[in-house]
Structure 1
Amino acid sequence: MPGMTPQSLSVETLYSEHHGWLQNWLSRRLGCPSLAADLAQDTFVRLLSHPRQLNNLGTPRSYLRTVAGRLCVDFWRRQSVEQAWLEVLASRPEPLAISPEEHAIIVETFCEIDEMLQRLPKKVAAAFILSQIEGLSYKKIAVKLNVSERTIKNYMAKAMLECMLIEARYHHSVT
């Protein structure tokens, strides 16, 4: 096809030769054919959006299984975050009326915060949670984590920078 790069041809070949197999593998793993179809498609979208030299793959199915497996983990993590959010909503004494768009934005933000906490060093993430969720002072967090209060301030600066980046991405996506 005119205008196609060697990279897209490789993904096209990978897709035509292995899409059916991948979808069946995901369906057996997930027990839901429609979800398997979505995640199989997402796997190839991921390959297109994150170009990589595909000519040197040892076994294409192993590579596809790895990419799809990571997408499954992302899906399950997102589902867990969304379930926790729904439980919070259900536990409120007064129903909170939010639009489906607001619900999606809230869940996406929670997922980004969860990803941020996974990326941060353990003590930085712990300091952030102790401060923002538990409401502890920096001094109490320092004692709990066995570090100086100045170190806690540095940890919080790192975590807050990550939060600001999430907020900037949010504002960029809604404008």
Structure 2
Amino acid sequence: MAHPSLKALVMIDTATVPSQTLHSLYRDHHGWLENWLRKRMGNAWDAADLSQDTFLRVLSSSQQIADMQEPRAYLLTVGKRLLSNFYTRRSLEQAYLEALSRLPEDSVPSPEQRWLLLETLQALDELLDGLPAAVRRAFLWSQLEGLGYRDIAERLQVSERTVKRYMAQAYEHCLLVDW
């Protein structure tokens, strides 16, 4: 499958990266990375997309391409993170679709509403990425289900004081995250 040039896909300033360095990184490692992803995903199309996303992420990062000692290790680290995000999104989509299937037919949202809800869930998942599971759960129960700190503390089997700390951590994370 032929891919468009990486420069055509990237809408960032590449003036600080020598074009030969950029070309070499892509040429030397794209096929390897895509094959690695294909083996894990079992799907050539998703692997191709994730491979491109990996290179875009590398280009937009603060890591200097010319200074990379182990480019494959760096690409693999970025690719693994994106792969994890991919499966998290897929799991989130599946859970959402299962929840929709349990709704009475007259309560099912329109396709447009479903798409918007799914996009919102994915954005929320990305926003909370990096928080410990208990902190995420506390925040989601509070914000989506309207549970109070006492109810959350019971569910998590922790003190209310711990829930307050979790909520402060979640709010701080949301404020500091770089979108």
Kept in 2, the 8 Å contact 1:138–1:153? The answer is yes
Q: Which residue number corresponds to residue 23 of structure 1?
A: 34
Taking the aligned partners of 1:36 and 1:73, their CA distance within structure 2 comes to 13
Does the C-alpha gap of structure 1 residues 97 and 110 become closer, same or farther in structure 2, counting only changes over 3 Å?
Answer: closer
Q: Which residue pairs with 2:149 in the alignment?
A: 138
SS of 1:35 mapped into structure 2: helix
CA distance in 2, matches of 1:58, 1:81: 36
Counterpart Cα distance in 2 of 1:162 and 1:29: 31
Match of 1:119 in 2: 130
CA RMSD of aligned residues (A): 3.3
Alpha-carbon distance, 1:60 to partner: 1.6
1:11, 1:44 within 8 Å by CA — same for their partners in 2?
Answer: no
Cα pair distance change 1:5/1:36, threshold 3 Å: same
Letter in 2 for 1:63: Y
Pick one of 111, 125, 128 that aligns with 1:99: 111
Deviation of residue 162 (structure 1)? Answer: 6.0
* Cα displacement (A) at 1:147: 4.2
Aligned mates of 1:162, 1:61 — CA distance in 2: 30
| TM superposition score normalised by structure 1 | 0.72
Give the alignment of 1:23-172 within 5 angstroms: 23-94=34-105, 96-100=108-112, 102-121=113-132, 124-132=135-143, 136-142=147-153, 144-148=157-161, 152-153=163-164, 155-156=166-167, 159=170
TM-score of the pair, normalised by structure 2: 0.70
Task: Give the deviation of 1:29 after TM superposition.
Answer: 2.0
Cα drift, residue 126 of structure 1: 4.3
Distance in 2 (alpha carbons) for counterparts of 1:103 and 1:165: 29
* Gap regions ≥5 residues in structure 1: 170-175
Output the CA distance in 2 between the equivalents of 1:4 and 1:163: 30
Percentage of identical aligned residues = 43
User: Which residue is equivalent to 1:172?
Assistant: none
